[in-house]
Chains A and B, each alone.
Chain A
Amino acid sequence: MLALILSAWVAACAGLGYGLLKQCRYPLNVYGLLLCSTLMLLGVFWMFPLLRAFLGC
């Protein structure tokens, strides 16, 4: 379950990043990608302990 939620989160962020990559021109999308990456990691490190406590595993 935990793994599922994590992969869903990663996929969402990756999707966002891919969207930015396709939309924006070259110098812009680097910052876009970095923003997505920040979001993803912050989300993981913040959610993980909460999720573990919630799911009890």
Chain B
Amino acid sequence: MVNFGLIWELTKRDFTEQYAGSVLGALWAMIWPLVYLVIYIMIFGKLMGGHLPGESSIYTYGIYVTVGLVPWSAFSSTLNRSCSVFLEKKHIITKLSTSLPMLLVYVSLSETITFLITMTIFFVFLVATGYTFHSGLLLVPFIFYLMQLFAVGFGLLMATFTVFIRDLKQIVGIILQFWFWFTPIVYVPQILPDLVKRMLVYNPAYIFVQSFQQLFVYQADPPYRQLLLLTVLVHGVLVLAYLVFRTLEKDVRDFI
């Protein structure tokens, strides 16, 4: 039932299909992240002259924005695409026996690959600018994994419900917009009013983003306690999502 070959083949398709027939082909999958990085670091950091309180390097703000935005876009794209994945892959689901939760894994994997490409380029940039690496960065894959797991769990819930309420995709899109601006990704948390600042603890996305910011920008420890809590919470969401999906699976297949 668990067909890993299918997940991989679908993921590969995602990249090749998008650029099929173009001259540069899959190279575009590298060019786009590069463009984004240039925008984040050069425009945000250098041209607009953004500075972090207490930091003097010209690149720090650029790095701050990058390590927030890149994981966030992986997270939000995964969630956004998850909503409609059952409807999008209708032609396969209605004709072949496929495990539906596997489609969520494929979406997440596809976004993860984009993330990896961007991060690789980002690391090259870091090396070039003489960034000092420290052992804390070893945590990055784990934090990212936890974040994608969250996206998959949440996404499975949304994907199941979207079959019944088609409007959910738009609603999730709007929620993601608000979520983005209520999370200190392009700004620093210090500028927020007190009330909102206190609410930040309950924003799981901020804990992820904050972890990346701590590791990359301040070379400090991520909030371990919150991460431990979040680990339990995320897996709870996954179990819940899976249970909901199992109860509705028959209807999902009937409705599609």
Does a CB–CB distance below 8 Å link A and B in the complex? yes
Residues of A within 8 A of B (CB): 2-3, 6, 21, 26-27, 29-31, 34, 37-38, 41-42, 44-46, 48-49, 52, 57
Q: Please, could you name 26 A-B residue pairs with CB atoms under 8 Å apart, sorted by A? A: A3-B138, A6-B138, A26-B2, A30-B101, A30-B242, A31-B242, A34-B235, A34-B238, A34-B239, A37-B149, A38-B231, A41-B142, A41-B146, A42-B228, A42-B231, A42-B232, A44-B139, A44-B142, A45-B224, A45-B227, A45-B228, A45-B231, A46-B228, A48-B139, A49-B221, A52-B136
Decide if B1 is an interface residue (CB 8 Å cutoff).
yes
Return the CB mask of B89-107 against A: 1 if under 8 Å, else 0: 0000000000001000000
Flag if A26 contacts B1 (CB, 8 Å): yes
Flag if B246 contacts A41 (CB, 8 Å): no
Collect the chain A residues with CB atoms within 8 Å of residue B239's CB.
31, 34
Neighbour of A49 across the interface among B145, B224, B231, B235, CB < 8 A: B224
How distant is the Cα of A44 from the Cα of B230 in the complex, in angstroms? Answer: 13
Collect the chain A residues with CB atoms within 8 Å of residue B139's CB.
44, 48
The secondary-structure label for the interface of chain A is: helix
Flag if A37 contacts B235 (CB, 8 Å): yes
Collect the chain A residues with CB atoms within 8 Å of residue B136's CB.
52
**With contacts A26-B2, A44-B139, A48-B139 known, what are 11 further pairs, Cβ within 8 A?**
A31-B242, A34-B238, A37-B235, A38-B235, A41-B145, A41-B227, A42-B231, A46-B224, A49-B221, A49-B224, A52-B135
Neighbour of A57 across the interface among B135, B231, B232, CB < 8 A: B135
Collect the chain B residues with CB atoms within 8 Å of residue A3's CB.
138
- Which 3 pairs, one residue from A and one from B, show the smallest C-beta to C-beta distance? A41-B231, A38-B235, A45-B227
Count CB-based A-B contacts (< 8 Å). 47
Minimum CB–CB distance from A4 to chain B (whole Å) comes to: 11
How distant is the Cα of A41 from the Cα of B147 in the complex, in angstroms? Answer: 12
Minimum CB–CB distance from A22 to chain B (whole Å) comes to: 11
How distant is the Cα of A24 from the Cα of B136 in the complex, in angstroms? Answer: 36
Minimum CB–CB distance from B220 to chain A (whole Å) comes to: 11
Collect the chain A residues with CB atoms within 8 Å of residue B146's CB.
41
Return the CB mask of B226-250 against A: 1 if under 8 Å, else 0: 0110011001001100100010000
Flag if B246 contacts A27 (CB, 8 Å): yes
Collect the chain B residues with CB atoms within 8 Å of residue A29's CB.
2
Collect the chain A residues with CB atoms within 8 Å of residue B231's CB.
38, 41-42, 45
Taking CB as reference atom, which chain B residue is nearest A38? B235
Neighbour of B2 across the interface among A21, A44, A46, A49, CB < 8 A: A21
How distant is the Cα of A2 from the Cα of B137 in the complex, in angstroms? Answer: 11
Flag if B2 contacts A2 (CB, 8 Å): no
Q: Quick one: which of A26, A38, A42, A57 has the most chain B CB within 10 A? A: A38
Return the CB mask of B200-238 against A: 1 if under 8 Å, else 0: 000000000000000000000100100110011001001
